[in-house]
């Protein structure tokens, strides 16, 4: 059995009928699209997708910071306000 990573599901037939209604009914959450009761795709509202991309960007940035800290260089403290002016 395959896990479904969503609180909402819909068939491909339901998706074809009214994708906007599915998004409305899900309350801005992801919807697992099922094909023969197996998840084949996820329908993700744009707001949620943007949040996911921000989280992924932050993750990769944190990885880059960790990698650079391994270089044994002394970190330099900066004031963000000074950088913006």
**Percent of the chain whose pLDDT exceeds 70:** 100
Burial code (b: 16+ CB inside 10 Å, e: under 16) for 22-47 equals bbeebeeebbbbbeeeeeeeebbbee
In whole angstroms, how far apart are CA 62 and each of 47, 55, 67? 23, 10, 9
pLDDT (tens digit per residue) in 43-65:
999 999 999 999 999 999 999 98
**Percent of the chain whose pLDDT exceeds 90:** 74
Check pLDDT > 90 for residue 76. no
């Amino acid at each position: 059995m395959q896990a479904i990573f969503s609180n909402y599901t819909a068939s491909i037939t339901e998706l074809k009928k009214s994708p906007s209604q599915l998004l409305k009914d899900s309350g801005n959450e992801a919807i697992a699209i099922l094909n023969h009761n197996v998840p084949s795709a996820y329908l993700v509202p744009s707001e949620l997708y943007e949040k996911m991309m921000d989280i992924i960007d932050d993750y990769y940035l944190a990885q880059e910071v960790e990698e650079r800290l391994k270089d044994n260089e002394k970190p330099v403290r900066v004031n963000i306000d000074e950088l913006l002016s």
